[in-house]
Amino acid sequence: MPTALPRVAWIGLGVMGSPMSEHLLKAGYPVTGHTLEAHKLDRLAAAGGTPAATVAEAVRGADVIVTMLPADPHVEAVAYGEDGVLAHARPGALLIDMSTVAPRTSVALAAAATAGGKGVRVLDAPVSGGEAGAVEGVLSVMVGGAAADFAAAEPLLATFGTTVARCGGHGAGQTVKAANQLIVAVTLQACAEAVVLLEKSGADLATALDVLGGGLAGSAVLSRKRHNFLAREFAPGFRLDLHHKDMGIVMDAARAVGAALPLGSAAATLVASARARGDGGLDHSALLRGVELLSGTAS
């Protein structure tokens, strides 16, 4: 007789959380979800999930609890509040935080989950791939925590991730995600600068980007953001506001271990500048607008 799939509580049904939870439903997992937006709960119900009015209602009796939230304060509020996860999760439940937060936040959460006999197991499991990756189910999932807990979670994570790997102990997933966001920010800025150089030099931009994409300069960033650069369309797949938050995590993590990040510091400043100009709601490929402004070609 086949073993029943674990009961999942999903907290946070935003741009990433909704399609990810729907992949679980398609795979047969029973999912109870909670979020603050009523229409997202309607979407969950339409996909076959069970809406919950509160975090406590969602997590009660769940085998696995997944949180996918915007930032550290949201994770802490959901985890530690009187109506939160740790107050209502059953002993032995597995909490998988897929939000992007500081490594120290994940380490503290793992410690709190075992304190006082709570007995909740924790993994930090941030993702890379953006909205498109979440919809297509091809995310990269970087995990920190105990090996046995990762083994238990891996089949579930594989429903929406094509690269799923344990990177070390608690906080390691978040450290790898910080490195990911560092690379993406620096690469986006380099691509933006190349676009302006090419256009001001009179090269055919579409052809040039194709050639660059086929050589050593090729990257997932260039491939996924090619249309944004060509069409100057910056509908958010991943908002600059969020990348600004993530670059704060990068710099904080670097200070904690004494790592010098010269390019990372410059990229963090440029992301902050774009946000200060009012571009925070745009896709992070809108870093191009800053290069155009400096180059005198802004429209």
| Residue written as token pair 């979440």 | 134
Instruction: Centre a 10 Å sphere on the Cβ of residue 24 and count the other Cβ atoms it contains.
Output: 25
Q: Indicate the SS3 state at residue 294.
A: helix
Please state, in angstroms and rounded to a whole number, the distance separating the CA atoms of residues 286 and 290.
Answer: 8
- Asked whether 64 and 30 are in contact (CB, 8 A), the reply is no
Q: In this structure, what token pair is assigned to residue 48?
A: 């076959």
Q: Which residues of 98-122 are buried (b: 16+ CB within 10 A; e: fewer)?
A: bbbbbbebbbbbbebbeeeebebbb
Q: Indicate the SS3 state at residue 217.
A: coil
Q: In this structure, what token pair is assigned to residue 96?
A: 């998988």
**Pairing relation of β-strands 127-128 and 94-97?**
unpaired
Mutual orientation of helices 262-274 and 172-200 as an angle, nearest 10°? Answer: 70
Query: From the CA atom positions of the chain, what is the Rg in Å?
Result: 20
Known catalytic residue at 177 = yes
Q: Give the containing element (helix H, strand E) for 153.
A: helix 147-157
List Cα–Cα distances, 150 to 65, 121, 135, 144, in angstroms.
Answer: 14, 10, 23, 8
Burial class (CB in 10 A: 0-12, 13-18, 19+), 260: exposed
Question: What is the per-residue DSSP string for 55-79?
Answer: HHHHHTT-SEEEE--SSHHHHHHHH
Catalytically annotated residue among 40, 177, 225, 245: 177
Catalytic residue positions, numbered = 177
